[in-house]
Amino acid sequence: MVISQIWGLERMTAGGLLGLALGACGIVLLVGFPAVPMTATFILGSLAALGACFAAAFGSNYASHRLKQTGTWEVTIGSFLFGGLITAPFVALVPIPGVPGIADIVYTLVAGCVMSAATYALYFRLVASIGPTKAISVEFVVTIVAVIIGALILNEPLTAIQFVGAGVIILGCMLVLGLFPWQRNKVAEVPLPHQDGVP
């Protein structure tokens, strides 16, 4: 939202800011923080996650600002290709423990082509149609899905506070997306005209 404001793509509103704050608070309630002891590794991991969040926000805004006329599949293919090239050298630091089997390759293809590439193509279409802040706000719901899958498949425990956190996340998303009756006449983030002659 801050990047969108600086670049003149969207305008901050009280409803949008409140929604994003509620989403962040909901994640803390849902996941718990800190979930493990505060070691140097934990702090480094948290900083890396914040860096990844900034990169995702920057990428969404860049796609909205500079790649509006580019097809969603082209943006997705470019993102995945260069993401793979950038991260490939790190395989040397954490080598693959063994030769992948057929099942491993199939799972990787399904995860990469269906669960990632196809959903990112839809995501970049959302960025183009409703704006980067609203599009990326749905990432809050990913945490809810992850916790539910953890409970169903990995038998992780669910607590009452996690249900509260999930409710707070959904409330925050609804505020950002402008789904409440009093928001329907004015959008949570009003798009501004693009600068530099870009429509």
Residue 193 has pLDDT above 90, yes or no: no
How far from the centroid of its chain's Cα atoms is residue 189's Cα?
18
**Model pLDDT, residue 185:** 59
**CA–CA distance, 81 with 65 (Å, rounded to integer):** 21
**CA–CA distance, 135 with 61 (Å, rounded to integer):** 10
On whether the CB atoms of residues 172 and 22 are closer than 8 A, the answer is yes
**CA–CA distance, 112 with 103 (Å, rounded to integer):** 14
**Model pLDDT, residue 106:** 94
Give the H or E element holding residue 124: helix 119-130
Confidence of residue 190 (pLDDT cuts 50, 70, 90): very low
**Model pLDDT, residue 72:** 85
On whether the CB atoms of residues 66 and 103 are closer than 8 A, the answer is no
The segment with the largest mean pLDDT, out of 63-67, 134-138, 140-144, 151-155, is 151-155
The more confident residue out of 106 and 31 is: 106
Residue 198 has pLDDT above 60, yes or no: no
**CA–CA distance, 141 with 23 (Å, rounded to integer):** 9
Q: Which residues of 31-54 are buried (b: 16+ CB within 10 A; e: fewer)?
A: eeeeeeeeeeeeeeeeeeeeeeee
Confidence of residue 79 (pLDDT cuts 50, 70, 90): confident
- Domain range list for the chain: 18-62+74-88+99-176
* Helices and strands (DSSP H and E) totals, the chain: 9, 0
